[in-house]
């Protein structure tokens, strides 16, 4: 009993450390590279990054508790493995719903790109076309980044914190460090968002693969279950 309790406490400490490193490293890089981004493209161009971050905060309200549900259901599976048969269909059902929300948000942003570039964002040095292209790329990035929270919730529920923390560190290093190199080469804010889209695509493919690799699989066809 004491050995089991000691193992649980050690596992908890490891999970907390992995979460702290993964989240802390991403937050640190996001702040540390701001002066370099501004120096390379200027304050006005970097204002588009601030606009994108504000949109992401607003979009979080459309999560509707999906990621928390994934966390809970995966954790429940760990303590009730006899329910394995229901897990794959549950995950597929929630996954499709979550992806649809991201696609709707991203496509909506793309469709409104001309309106935003013309009436929402007033720039002295940036052309409307540059702003429009940047907003379109914001929409693409939104589609690719949106499901990350869903899979992260599932990975945490499966107690794969260390693996998730490692992926976060690598992804945030590529996103923010690579963006500085791209801006140094292109000196165009739209290149920043293009890089965000590319790395986000690689990130979501990797995280989805690792998540499904840890989901119990009965080698049956997955289906959407409205119940």
pLDDT in tens, 150-206: 998 888 888 888 888 888 889 999 999 999 899 999 888 999 999 999 999 999 999
Cβ-based burial of 196 (10 A; exposed 0-12, middle 13-18, buried ≥19) = buried
Helical ranges in the chain per DSSP H: 2-32, 34-41, 43-59, 66-79, 87-111, 113-115, 128-145, 148-157, 161-172, 178-186, 189-214
**106 in Cβ contact with 193 (< 8 Å):** no
User: In angstroms, rounded to a whole number, what is the distance separating the alpha carbons of residues 185 and 131?
Assistant: 19
Task: Give the global pTM.
Answer: 0.84
Alpha carbon 56 to its chain centroid, in Å, reads 10
Instruction: Dump pLDDT digits (tens) for 96-140.
Output: 889 999 999 999 999 999 999 998 888 778 889 999 999 999 999
Which pair of tokens denotes residue 62?
């459309």
User: In angstroms, rounded to a whole number, what is the distance separating the alpha carbons of residues 110 and 116?
Assistant: 10
Which pair of tokens denotes residue 30?
């996001």
Residue 211 burial (CB count, 10 A): 24
Phi, psi (degrees; rounded to nearest 5) at 187: 55, 40
* 220 confidence band (pLDDT: 50, 70, 90): low
Supply the Cα-derived Rg of the chain in whole angstroms.
Answer: 20
């Amino acid at each position: 009993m004491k050995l089991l309790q000691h193992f649980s406490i050690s596992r908890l400490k490891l999970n907390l450390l992995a979460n702290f490193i993964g989240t802390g490293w991403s937050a640190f890089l996001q702040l540390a590279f701001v002066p370099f981004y501004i120096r390379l493209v200027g304050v006005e161009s970097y204002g588009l990054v601030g606009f994108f971050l504000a949109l992401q905060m607003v979009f979080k309200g459309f999560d509707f508790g999906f990621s928390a549900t994934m966390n809970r259901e995966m954790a429940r599976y760990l303590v009730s493995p006899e329910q394995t048969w229901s897990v794959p269909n549950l995950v597929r059902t929630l996954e499709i719903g979550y992806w649809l929300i991201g696609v709707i948000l991203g496509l909506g942003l793309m469709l409104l790109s001309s309106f935003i570039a013309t009436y929402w964002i007033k720039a002295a040095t940036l052309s409307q076309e540059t702003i429009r292209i940047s907003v379109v790329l914001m929409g693409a990035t939104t589609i690719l980044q949106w499901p990350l929270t869903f899979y992260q919730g599932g990975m945490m529920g499966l107690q794969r914190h260390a693996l998730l923390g490692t992926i976060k560190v690598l992804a945030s290093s590529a996103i923010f460090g690579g963006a500085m190199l791209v801006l140094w080469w292109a000196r165009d804010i739209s290149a920043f968002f293009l890089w965000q889209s590319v790395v986000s695509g690689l990130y979501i493919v990797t995280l989805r693969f690792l998540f499904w690799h840890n989901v119990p699989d009965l080698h049956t066809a997955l289906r959407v279950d409205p119940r």
